[in-house]
Chain A
Amino acid sequence: MKTEILHNFTSRSRAATADEAQRGKFRSAMDFLIAKRAAQFPDPTEWAELRESGQQIRQRALAYLPKLLVQFEQKAQQNGMTVHWAETPLEANQIIHGILQRQQVRTLIKGKSMVSEEIELNQYLQAHSIQALESDMGEFIVQMADEKPSHIIMPAIHKSKQEIAALFAAEIDDTPYTEDVDELIQIGRQALRQQFFNADAGLSGVNFAIAETGTLCLVENEGNGRLSTSCPRVHIAITGIEKMLENLADLPTLLTLLTRSATGQPITTYVNLISGPRRADEQDGPEEVHIVLLDNGRSQAYADVQLRQTLQCIRCGACMNHCPVYTRIGGHAYGTTYPGPIGSIISPHLLGLAETRDLPSASTLCGACGDVCPVKIPIPELLLRLRVENVTRAGTKDHPAVMRGQGAKYRLSEKLAWQAWSLLNTTPALSLASRRSAAGLRHLIPSVKAWTQARVMPKIAPQSLHELIKAHQEQKS
């Protein structure tokens, strides 16, 4: 298993970097998103103040998290909604399946939800003879191609319009091949309209959950989120436990940070605030609203104050848009629901470090992710911390157990090598001796082929700087 995972990430990223067509698609998509975001934050002072405020709001919410979850539950129940708690993806799937069974639902229409991808809900329901149909255009395309999203905001970013044209022509009845994007979107609209009309239940994610009022906030541009949550008679929302906000007044700041960072929009077309099922006198809206609160390793991140910052995330995707590694290898190479820098710091909590051991190193530590994060998550610092956890076994002296799969990359030989290195560099006599011997043995250094393909092999100088200065000073005197 160990080598398989390693092999998978390495081989997937190697294959991805060799795929020039895919790299072109990601490069142009990322350039587009980077430019749109930059245009939304022209004033560095406003940006600095806004993200400071965003960070404070998220940190306050996390400081009060257990209290806010209880308050949210109470308010949501008062508003007529049902709250469910799930520790694992399996529990969440069982809860959702249970609701659908009770309601005798055969088809579930879905708005965009990354948490539903995280728990692999579609696969679970399919195994239980319930069809889950994605309705976000990007997700619809990805589902039709039997793939997974490659970006958390733009799921079909890895597909060209030619590929989508061919897919629609092959998979949707009576559809001619067309590369006209307007026509393609209208084909998708028509195909899904009947599904919205028929669907008995809708599922959505949650962007923010407001404890003060028991409100769910959903943002989107297409209207499929609104249709999924207001047309069927049952609405199920699934969210990670970290999405809580203390007050409704906290929302505007995060909303503007989210939409400007994610897609470079001052606001999305729709901001949907749901605080309950339809009321007695209302003519539409769901008769039942269920909210599933999922832990799945988030409480593990919460338990450590440094790693807890991971949970400040509002899932804007700006870190992946600006990541040189993500841009080159694309979303699928990571092999996780959440790719890119945020994926590399959250996935180890969701899946365990043993399963995700290569992700903390899937970074150049250039710092771009941390610089653009609208809630100031120090992503590079957290990547470094996970690298430490990767090579440190739990329960050793001065090192408590922090996370599942900790020490996955621990090797005694590596540990001893670093101990020797440390000794060498903190003992002057040993250090001097090692430098002298390095200079003497310089012709014996083996060639490193991969490195020297495009570079000149560096050579150790015959004399160290220390020795040169000494000789120079002796000469002068």
Chain B
Amino acid sequence: MSARAHILAKLTASHDQPGWPDPVALKTNPPRTINAADQLAQLKTMMAAAHTEIHEVSSENWPEKVAELTQAKNLNNLLIAPKTALGKQLQAQWPVDGVTLKYDLHHSGGKEELFFSVDAALTSCRSAIAESGSLVLWPSPAEPRLMSLVPPVHFVLLDAHNIYPSLAEVMQAENWAAAMPSNALLISGPSKTADIQQTLAYGAHGPKELVLLIMV
């Protein structure tokens, strides 16, 4: 008998033994209506507590803010997704003296540059979760997984209209269970570790800085 058949046979032989509690369905709470301003405030509090740098921007001026921050942080370059609406707007408004923009490094030839020369990347995010202070990212062909992971600084642009109270509510509202992407992420701050004597250090393997731009 195969390992599969053997394991399943053992489990099936004992799974309905008397004495195990009857299954209880998950209690689902009705979606809450929480004041948008309160949600935004909670998101900011939670994310700031997890060492995220937060700026409020408008849908018109955010590229200027990114340009200003990249210069203030002395970054040499910024990786963007050129074909998304966000990438197009950024390029159109990018100042002539702005840092170098990088694109298309996800093929094997660009990987070395991505790993060792890119200072920062900018991505969008689908939504955010106020309760835990989390950003929801579904990496896509235009914004691959490594964009939000490999460069030392990660800029994220969030539309304040897309803040949900909790993970349960965002999953339900967007019906995630119907079609999961190959990768879905919650990001709740910069990379960190407390593995050496419980001392918190940022930038363990992922970005050392997470910069959140909220379009309000």
Contact = CB atoms under 8 A, between A and B. Distances in A.
A273 B203 contact: no
Contacts of A141: 195-196
B148 to A, nearest CB: 9
Interface in B138-179: 139-141, 144-146, 149-150, 166-168, 171-172, 176-177
Given A248-B176, A248-B177, A255-B167, A185 B204 contact: yes
Contacts of A57: 26
B27 interface: yes
Interface residues of B, number: 78
Contacts, number: 251
B46 interface: yes
Given A223-B204, A308-B20, A161 B7 contact: no
Contacts of A212: 177
B23 A64 contact: yes
Interface residues of A, number: 95
A221 B15 contact: no
A282 interface: yes
Nearest to A215: B180
A241 B9 CA distance: 13
A9 B139 CA distance: 48
Contacts of B46: 266
B23 A269 contact: no
A393 to B, nearest CB: 22
Interface in A224-276: 224, 226-227, 230-231, 241, 247-253, 255-256, 263, 266-276
A84 to B, nearest CB: 8
Nearest to B6: A87
A85 B195 contact: no
A154 interface: yes
A219 B168 CA distance: 17
A144 to B, nearest CB: 13
A395 to B, nearest CB: 18
A222 B3 contact: no
A253 B112 CA distance: 40
A249 B172 contact: yes
A161 B197 contact: yes
A252 B167 contact: yes
Interface stretch (A131-139, A201-209, A449-457): A131-139
Contact of B11 (A56, A65, A184, A279): A65
Contact of A267 (B2, B116, B132, B198): B132
B82 interface: no
Contact of B205 (A135, A248, A284): A135
Contacts of A423: none
Contact of B3 (A85, A186, A197, A275): A85
A181 B171 contact: no
Given A226-B185, A263-B194, 8 more contacts: A53-B26, A221-B204, A268-B188, A271-B134, A273-B183, A275-B182, A284-B144, A284-B145
Interface of A: 25, 28-29, 32, 53, 56-57, 59-60, 62-66, 69-70, 79, 85-87, 91, 135-138, 141, 154-156, 159-161, 164, 181-182, 184-186, 188-189, 192-193, 196-197, 212-215, 221-224, 226-227, 230-231, 241, 247-253, 255-256, 263, 266-279, 281-285, 293, 295, 299, 302-306, 308
